[in-house]
Amino acid sequence: MERLIAAGLLCVAGISASPAADLAVPGEFDSIQAAIDAADPGDVVLVEPGTYTENLVMRTDIDVRGRETARTLLEPESADPTVSMAGIQGATLANFTIIDATIGVLIANSGDLVIANVVFDAATNAAIDVDLNSTVEITNNVFFENATAIRRLSDASRIENNLFVGNTTTIASPVGLFDSNIAFNGFFDNDDLRPGDIDTALGTDFQIGDPEFVDPAARDFHLRAGSQAIDAGTGTDVIDDSVADLGAYGGVGADARPFPVSGLTPSDASGASPPPFAIALGWDPNLDYRVSGGATPGSYRVYYRQNGDGPPYPGTDAGGGAQPSPIDVGNQTEFVLENLAPGIDAPVAPQLLAADPRNETVVLSWSDVPGATGYRVSYGIASIDENTIDLGEATGTTVTGLANGTTYQFAVAAARRPVYHIAVTAVDGTQNRNESAFSEEAEMAVGATSFSVRSNTLRSTPEVTVPVPDLPDKGCFIATAAFGAHWQPQVAILRDFRDRVLLRNAFGRGFVAWYYEQGPQAAAWLNQHSQLKAPVRAVLLPLVAAALVLLAATPAQWVVLGGLLLAWHRTGRSRRRDHDGVGR
């Protein structure tokens, strides 16, 4: 216990016993194991929040600590124990959440070990497995819904200040050692400790009952106000200098940062005729008793900035300039950023790339402008200012309702509207005013839109694309006969090639006219000789593929193309088999 207290105090104070060093993951090392392998005795591997998929092999006198218990997740890469502590002395594993493990921590032939302030979530075999020849302090952990929480073969392992909730088996010990070296733990809803069977494996100074975690589904195992696990342990809480709480957020080495705020939602509260401009904010309360409960509740801080992701959040204009970021808003879950002064520089002009004429429509496309929040298309016949269309962030549109045979002129401008980027933190009510990490960032556009100068101007003349002769768009006679129906995708592709390529030049129009003279008779003859449809399809499929390429196929059409080539390949194999059969 003395070693745990000393380690916790050094960790909280931010110092290490000389000549120890902190090895940062991922800042200095890509993996936790790489840092462990590079560490010298006495060093601390300090792991930033994130999800780490690896199986760790600990070393003598190396401590491995997560920066934040709830947000520093360790999951195994293989079915081996997530953490192996074999043949080592004097090591600590602390402030992690271990998930998806078969065995969370395997301890063999090792001594003077500490496992503290760790959440073991749903290990399918055992969260901690300790052999006969090892000694370990297992303190201030949460064992949640594991097959077996702790399996030990001797009473040399000290188990205290832990919470056991929803496990199949809590502590598996040899006969006669059920209660030995076990104290100040909480038990709730474990299968082996149902009413009538709660007199074993509990030790001394235990409690039975719901510890009232904030939100286990979100892996928030902080305690709510009124939890019986508050101040129920032995030793001192580093977070508030009171008697130690049970569970992962109590004791001398607890992670002091509150769980991040969730549910941040902004809305425009500017009114019907701004200015002034305002943004209303709301978020879910943090139900940790050190934030939302107690005689000295915590508070929330609102961070903001204009026109750029955070952090940092160096906003200065809220409250008419009187409320720079961050704003301490007290213990409430709503706040209005009022009297804002949004502003933004106009974006650069886009380049109008194409104005493709179609039947009573023109398809436009233009270059993307970084930072643009929308685009405005202007077009007309005599003047480009006759019509406007305001769009979102798309870089193309189809202008409809145009007159065929009439030339229109088109241009586009990029738009930018000021955008506020906002985050909220929770601050506890302790003497240290510990602050959570930022919530997920929210965005809200308010204020006047700035437009770029217009792009270049392109002219386009919509035109009718009708087959010659005009036949209800079923004019690909031979293809229709070969593939069985005019709505088959192969026929549709050839028809699109006719309309978009062949009918746009004199040679193509001549070919289409000739085809419409000869096609009906050829299709009728093919319908009378159905055995020839497969060979005709085999001939047409490469033409369909070529048409797709020339039409600059969409991803969906490329899927069709893959199917066409596969069908062509199968058709060729079928014809070869038929030929070989005839030869035999």
Residue 242 domain-assigned? no
302 and 207 belong to one structural domain: no
Residue 254 domain-assigned? no
Provide, rounded to the nearest whole percent, the portion of the chain with pLDDT above 70: 82
The predicted-structure confidence for 389-435, as pLDDT tens digits, reads as follows 999 989 999 999 999 999 999 999 999 999 999 999 999 999 999 99
Provide, rounded to the nearest whole percent, the portion of the chain with pLDDT above 90: 69
* Separation CA 282–CA 334 (nearest Å): 4
325 and 387 belong to one structural domain: no
Would the pLDDT of 92 be above 50? yes
pTM: 0.72
Residue 258 domain-assigned? no
51 and 149 belong to one structural domain: yes
440 and 482 belong to one structural domain: no
Residue 234 domain-assigned? no
Residues 6+ apart with CB under 8 A from 264: 281, 282, 283, 422, 423, 424, 439, 440, 442
The residues that bridge with 482 in the sheet, in sequence order, are none
Beta-strand relationship, 119-121 and 142-144 = parallel
**Domain stops at, among 194, 223, 252:** 223
Average pLDDT (78-86) is 97
Residue 251 domain-assigned? no
Structural domain range at position 297: 265-344+419-447
520 and 377 belong to one structural domain: no
Domains identified in the chain, total number: 4
11 and 31 belong to one structural domain: yes
410 and 516 belong to one structural domain: no
Would the pLDDT of 198 be above 50? no
Domain CATH number, residue 359: 2.60.40.10
88 and 185 belong to one structural domain: yes
DSSP 8-state class, residue 498: H
484 and 554 belong to one structural domain: yes
The predicted-structure confidence for 135-182, as pLDDT tens digits, reads as follows 999 999 999 999 999 999 998 899 999 999 999 999 998 876 767 899
Closest CA to 459 of 407, 413, 500: 407
State the greatest distance between any 2 C-alpha atoms of the chain, in Å, as a whole number.
Answer: 100
Residues 6+ apart with CB under 8 A from 552: none
292 and 439 belong to one structural domain: yes
* Separation CA 86–CA 11 (nearest Å): 25
Average pLDDT (291-313) is 92
**Domain stops at, among 223, 251, 278:** 223
**Domain stops at, among 460, 490, 517:** 460
306 and 412 belong to one structural domain: no
226 exposed, middle or buried (CB, 10 Å; 0-12, 13-18, 19+)? Answer: exposed
CA distances from 301 to 163, 281, 433, 446, 548 (A): 31, 12, 12, 21, 56
Tell me the residue ranges of DSSP E strands in 331-407: 334-340, 352-358, 361-366, 374-380, 387-391, 396-399
- Six token digits for residue 394: 């798309």
The residues that bridge with 113 in the sheet, in sequence order, are 136
Residue 243 domain-assigned? no
The predicted-structure confidence for 321-375, as pLDDT tens digits, reads as follows 999 999 999 999 999 999 999 999 999 999 999 999 998 999 999 999 998 999 9
Residue 241 domain-assigned? no
* Separation CA 33–CA 13 (nearest Å): 25
Closest CA to 59 of 75, 77, 35: 35
Residue 572 domain-assigned? yes
90 and 121 belong to one structural domain: yes
